[in-house]
Chains A and B, each alone.
Chain A
Amino acid sequence: AQSVSQHNHHVILSEAASLELGCNYSYGGTVNLFWYVQYPGQHLQLLLKYFSGDPLVKGIKGFEAEFIKSKFSFNLRKPSVQWSDTAEYFCAVNARGATNKLIFGTGTLLAVQP
């Protein structure tokens, strides 16, 4: 069965610090990969997605993620975080050729201190 692991459950950073959130998945076939963000009190919004092509994907608000197939990873990065990036971040995987279900990780809560 597919699964998604986010090893950082809670991350605290100061403004301007660099961010990297880990995401690993277990599935041997071809996958589509997503990062969603949930700001306090709001619903999930898509941050970025990977389907094919360049493994370095750029999303909204200066976020990017790199798909490393050999490591089954899709880590999220931002060179300089802002207080407004305080949110919960979810990695999700969809296996191609399977049903249209997304498997979510458990989330990483990011708190950025001003």
Chain B
Amino acid sequence: NAGVTQTPKFQVLKTGQSMTLQCAQDMNHNSMYWYRQDPGMGLRLIYYSASEGTTDKGEVPNGYNVSRLNKREFSLRLESAAPSQTSVYFCASSEPRGAGYNEQFFGPGTRLTVL
């Protein structure tokens, strides 16, 4: 079991360039998430997908788009990168159960720098 995998691990972009961050999970989880982690701000939810075929905005969705390609894969796209999007991006997955049980499993992260 690889758990949650992310590609690439590192990326440097110039302002205005676009790119897609890939995430896949092999735990058969229904829900998937994209977070960004910035110093002193913890993890902030960008977008999430409660189940295949659905996506919803999180706390900081501006400048991003997502695609839930299938149950395993959830990609994050930056259409026109800005320096403010320099961050570490984490993908996570979970299988919510009754009473709001929602333990999330995280990928190794993508460190993105926008110049």
Contacts and interface: CB of A to CB of B under 8 A. Distances in A.
Same complex for A and B? Answer yes
A96 B103 contact: no
Contact of B43 (A9, A94, A104): A104
B50 A32 contact: no
Q: Is the interface of A mostly helix, strand, loop or mixed?
A: loop
B102 A32 contact: yes
A100 B50 CA distance: 7
Interface in A1-32: 6, 9, 30, 32
13 contacts: A42-B108, A43-B106, A43-B107, A43-B108, A90-B42, A96-B99, A97-B100, A100-B94, A101-B58, A102-B45, A104-B43, A106-B40, A106-B42
Interface in B68-115: 90, 92, 94, 96, 99-109
Interface of A: 6, 9, 30, 32, 34, 36, 42-46, 49, 51-52, 90, 94-102, 104-107
B102 A43 contact: no
Contacts of B45: 101-102
A60 B106 CA distance: 17
Contact of A101 (B48, B101, B103, B109): B48
Given A43-B90, A43-B107, A100 B42 contact: no
Contacts of A101: 33, 45, 48, 58
Contact of B100 (A36, A43, A98): A98
A114 B75 CA distance: 42
Contacts of B43: 44, 90, 104
B42 A102 contact: no
A105 B99 CA distance: 22
B31 interface: yes
A6 to B, nearest CB: 8
Contacts of B2: none
B31 A100 contact: yes
